[in-house]
Amino acid sequence: MPVFSVPGGVAGLAPALTGGGCPGEWGHSPVVEPQLSAPLQVVSGCLSGTVTVWDISMGKSMMEFSVTGDQHVELTATALEESEQCLLTGLRDGAVEMWNYSPGKCLLTFPHPDKLEVSLVHQLGPGGRLRSKAQLL
């Protein structure tokens, strides 16, 4: 798995992607946990539920899609799984979803019966096995 070192962390890439704009905006605002992906891509999400895949070398959006559909639920957490093929998202209504972010297709949804906000989604699995941890508030 490629490892990239970015001065100032992933948030340090924002000016390159927005033409020097506010590091918190990335073309949509506010940003939820941007994820660095290979080859030279950043996947960012915003509270409104829009996920954008950025080409770092060109500083432009390659694609974007909504993880909330026509619902009015905020996106609150994101994480890439180990192979960087799937994006995990957490929503304010407690749902955790797994996305193939290239076509923007939802693969799995894990609803939470108590509808507690997901504040953290983290991939833990070694060897390509996906295991996730969701922190509920």
Q: Is the pTM of this model over 0.75?
A: no
pLDDT tens for each residue of 80-136? 877 778 888 888 888 888 898 888 899 988 888 888 888 777 665 555 454 444 444
pLDDT digits (tens, 9 = 90+) for 16-39: 444 433 334 445 556 666 676 667
- For domain 10-136, the CATH superfamily is YVTN repeat-like/Quinoprotein amine dehydrogenase (2.130.10.10)
- Nearest CA among 16, 77, 12 for reference residue 45: 77
Tell me the C-alpha distance between 88 and 121, whole Å.
7
